[in-house]
């Protein structure tokens, strides 16, 4: 099921998802008011991989979560540099990117902080999404992005 969803998301991604919009931003305040952001990670070759994600902001940091087997987590483990930019549901950039460093969260308190930040941004819509797709049963990993 997970790989089928990944293929569906890849096909639905906007053709401009990898194109930056404007001068780089500082910090993540430019993401406020947006429901999606592009999380752009790097392959070993240096090629960028844009992924539209739900996110939450807290204490100047961005939090998101991903399926634990997702390639983006492997890319982040190899190279923690990322860019984030506001985007549409399909990943069309809606503003400038900002540079950051990403890491997978390991301890319970960090994961709880991340979940609270994401939940505060989405509420009922996120709960419905999780219920419909059975996302609660999929093993996930939280990601923290700190601005650089």
**pLDDT tens column, 2-48:** 555 555 555 555 666 666 666 788 999 999 999 999 999 999 999 99
Task: Report the candidate in 146, 73, 70, 135 with the shortest Cα–Cα distance to residue 110.
Answer: 146
Domain 2-147 has CATH 2.160.10.10: no
Distance of alpha carbon 126 from alpha carbon 118, whole angstroms? 9
C-beta of residue 34 within 8 angstroms of C-beta of residue 26: no
Start-to-end C-alpha separation, the chain: 36
pTM to 2 decimal places? 0.83
Segment among 19-23, 83-87, 126-130, 143-147 with least mean pLDDT: 19-23
pLDDT of residue 135: 53
Averaged pLDDT, 85-96:
93
For 4, 12, 21, 77, 94, the CA distances from 8, given in Å and listed in that order, are 6, 6, 25, 24, 22
For residues 37 and 84, give the distance between their C-alpha atoms in angstroms, rounded to a whole number.
Answer: 6
């Amino acid at each position: 099921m997970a790989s089928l969803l990944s293929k569906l998301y890849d096909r639905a991604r906007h053709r401009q998802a990898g194109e930056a919009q404007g001068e780089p931003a500082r910090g993540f305040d430019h993401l406020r008011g947006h429901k999606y952001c592009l999380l752009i990670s790097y392959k070993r070759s240096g090629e960028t991989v844009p992924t539209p994600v739900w996110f939450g902001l807290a204490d100047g940091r961005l939090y998101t979560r991903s399926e634990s087997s997702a390639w983006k987590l492997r890319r982040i483990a190899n190279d923690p540099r990322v860019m984030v930019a506001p985007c549409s549901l399909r990943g069309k950039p809606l503003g400038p990117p900002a540079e950051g460093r990403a890491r997978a969260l390991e301890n319970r308190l960090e994961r709880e902080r991340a979940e609270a930040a994401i939940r505060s941004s989405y509420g009922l819509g996120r709960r419905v999404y999780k219920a419909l797709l059975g996302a609660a049963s999929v093993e996930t990993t939280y990601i923290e992005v700190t601005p650089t």
